[in-house]
Structure 1
Amino acid sequence: MYLRGLVPGRRAVFALAIGALSGWLAALAGMPLPWMLGPMIGNTLAAILSLPVRGPDRLRPLVIPVIGVMLGSAMTPEMLDAAPRYMASFALLVPFLGLTALASYAVYRRIGRYDPVTAFFSAMPGGLNDMLILGGAAGGNEKRIALAHAARVLLVILFVVLFYGTALDVSSGEVARGTAASALTARDWALLGAAAVAGVPLGKILRLPAPQITGPMALSGALHLAGLVTVAPPGFLIIVAQVVIGTVIGCRFIGVSAAQIGRDLSLGAVSSVAMIAVAVAFAAALTAITGLPLSLSFLGYSPGGLTEMSLLALAMGQDVAYVSVLHLVRIMLVIFAAQPVFKATRRRDQTGTNPPRSES
């Protein structure tokens, strides 16, 4: 009874506590994206059980730039030096992304009967954070978009681990994308902090899509490419950012039935199978053209997360730089192309040439 009488502020703290505990348990269990998916799952269950949780929405815009800086930190001169060796991989990347998105969109639109906005951003092979931001801004159903991308990440990781018979070593979890706070110099703190703070208004001035994440990502990438900073953001900040975002996502399921969540996850599974099938076909074609190992080609094209695929490449003794570069380029292409492509398709639909079906 006492828990049910918590005031809204305490409900947000309670939700964050659930998120932190769930993230810790997910990391212990070796789940991919533990500090994101753990809080999301924990607070989704709390919402279904009608526990007194509420999303810490005011913290979300404060932590999203941290994710952008993290993504930008992957842009190192060494990675770009390796890029010319894999031009065929880059040449096939755009048609791969297009076919993958079409296959996934067909699942969500035709089978799931999602509205066009939600189906589009659920189908995009980008990251959960950025597609959630873009989809929400366009008026999509954020709950469904979040579940679609969460299911994709989990199922792709499971497929790779089972197919290649290797275990995903996540002993360092998402901290693998960060740096120990003690290892950062005062200059590192200042430059990374400047990228996070100045990146958002810069993104708005440049009219970048999802400026909260793309602005800091662009600034961070420029700093790393110039060699002015060589480290990622502190690992504990990355964990905090993901706990907050995962908690916010999970709390969006307040009032949603378990049956509805199960249906959306099932659609995510069907979509993931379709995306994996396209990835396997393109990986086989790339291997035939270049002679690269099929396992490396598939890791580069697999629609999973940059962090997880890079860790898998490391565990399998594959070229980590190649996998990281391809996934970084994939994320950037999807982030910057999703909004313009969406607007173009919406304008075409509104002309009446092929209007979308109304949703029941």
Structure 2
Amino acid sequence: MIAHNRLIPQGFALVIGVAGGLGAYFLGLPLPWMLGPMILNTVAAMIRAPVSGPDGLRFYVIPIIGVMLGSSVTPEIFGFLGTWLITLALLPLFLASAAGISFAVYKRVGGYDAVTAFYAAMPGGINEMLLLGAEAGGDERRIALAHAARVLIIIVFVALFFGLFIGVSSGGPGAPQWIGLYEISLRDYIILGLCAVAGAILGKRLGLPAAPVFGPMILSGIAHVAGWVTASPPTLFVVAAQITIGTIIGTRFIGATMAEVRRDVGLSAIASLLMLIAAIGFAEVIAWISGVPLAQAFLAFSPGGLTEMSLLTLAMGQDVTYVSVMHIVRITLVIAIAPFVFRWARRWF
């Protein structure tokens, strides 16, 4: 009975997600199958509609995205690795700048305690920052809300206004085309399925960051570079995965009061927009020095979620491997360094 009661609001949230995806698709929004469900479920959560996030599906749908991202890896990419060094060299400096700006917003403007402000400001993974912040004695609810709002705000901002800032729209030459269920062979299904399952399991056992997406992405990339498979997962599977991810992000605001939204999400909006301004500045430097397209560099430094930013990159027809690797490095650096920085800085708090 308890399970049944949980499934009804989850199913309702997914129905809202499908409706949001269809609406966004027919409106011509970029990344419609994730952006539509995300926005509509955020609204549903805020008006206290009986919705609940289908978090249990995340482990099953994320590997599909990882396999799809890996299918964009080609042997030619390795010839561009040298141009990535400048981005990698500037990434720690960007992270320090973005975290410092956000910390000042949460601590000085928002009046958060130092621990909560520190872990709310870190541009890392939501789950990891929530766990580290809780262990350090921070306010879990505020940290969770800050990161959920950051991911939502950055994805919406970048997706809706990307063309205004950089002049790139979705549906570019590298954007994915529709792949039917019967357009790939049984052998392709088996190989792609093995990449998804084995990649998720191995990624978790090896302790990789964002293991459910990174593990399948690596195996899928190897399989495509080796020529074992040339197909991507059918689009219907990818659309279903995006609807699920967008629904989960939107329902993270369940239980938040309007007062919390006005204050905490408002602070997150300020911090996120300042991070994006910093990302634009660093992207300009990278584009000027290394010749990496400005759009690509900006996507690589926009501190949204790995899966969401990779999907947005694919929709914009940009280099998914470059952007994904930078976000993986970002998350890894933040997870690895944040606890040490916190212990060192705590004496100054």
Given the two structures, how large is their TM-score scaled by the length of structure 1? 0.77
Greater displacement, 137-146 / 287-296: 287-296
Map 1:37-52 → 2, pairs under 5 A: 37-52=35-50
Query: The residue matched to 2:182 in structure 1 has which SS?
Result: helix
Match of 1:335 among 300, 323, 331: 331
Counterpart CA distance in 1 for 2:212 and 2:246 is 17
1:78 aligns with 2:72: no
* One-letter amino acid matched to 1:92: L
**Match in the other structure for 1:135:** 129
**Match in the other structure for 1:169:** 170
* One-letter amino acid matched to 1:168: S
Greater displacement, 196-205 / 100-109: 100-109
Counterpart CA distance in 1 for 2:212 and 2:299 is 29
Give the superposition deviation at 1:133.
3.9
1:326 aligns with 2:322: yes
Residues 338, 192 of structure 1: CA spacing in aligned structure 2 closer, same or farther, 3 A cutoff? farther
Counterpart CA distance in 2 for 1:235 and 1:348 is 47
1:155 aligns with 2:157: yes
* One-letter amino acid matched to 1:152: I
Unaligned runs of 5+ in 2: 135-139
Residues 255, 115 of structure 1: CA spacing in aligned structure 2 closer, same or farther, 3 A cutoff? farther
Map 1:73-152 → 2, pairs under 5 A: 73-85=71-83, 87-112=85-110, 113=112, 116=115, 120=119, 123-124=122-123, 131-138=125-132, 139=134, 140=140, 141-152=143-154
Query: The residue matched to 2:176 in structure 1 has which SS?
Result: helix
Query: The residue matched to 1:183 in structure 2 has which SS?
Result: coil
**Match in the other structure for 2:312:** 308
**Cα deviations by residue, 1:103-162 (Å, 9 ceiling, x for unpaired):** 3343344434377467546641x6xxxx23433554554343122111012223444322
Percent identity (aligned) = 37
Residues 265, 238 of structure 1: CA spacing in aligned structure 2 closer, same or farther, 3 A cutoff? farther
**Cα deviations by residue, 1:307-327 (Å, 9 ceiling, x for unpaired):** 434544x5xxxxx44xx4431
**Match in the other structure for 1:249:** 249
Alignment RMSD, CA only? Answer: 3.5
Counterpart CA distance in 2 for 1:135 and 1:177 is 36
1:65 aligns with 2:63: yes
* One-letter amino acid matched to 1:42: L
**Match in the other structure for 1:190:** 190
Give the superposition deviation at 1:331.
1.5
Unaligned runs of 5+ in 1: 1-5, 315-319, 356-360
**Match in the other structure for 2:20:** 22
* One-letter amino acid matched to 1:146: A
**Match in the other structure for 1:230:** 230
Counterpart CA distance in 1 for 2:244 and 2:293 is 39
Give the superposition deviation at 1:198.
1.6
Give the superposition deviation at 1:17.
0.6
Check whether the contact 2:100–2:121 (CA below 8 A) recurs between aligned residues. Answer: no
Give the superposition deviation at 1:87.
4.4
Count of aligned positions:
333
Query: The residue matched to 1:37 in structure 2 has which SS?
Result: helix
Counterpart CA distance in 2 for 1:297 and 1:288 is 11
Counterpart CA distance in 2 for 1:102 and 1:96 is 10
Give the superposition deviation at 1:288.
4.4
Give the superposition deviation at 1:21.
0.6
* One-letter amino acid matched to 2:331: I
1:31 aligns with 2:29: yes
1:353 aligns with 2:347: yes
**Match in the other structure for 2:281:** 281
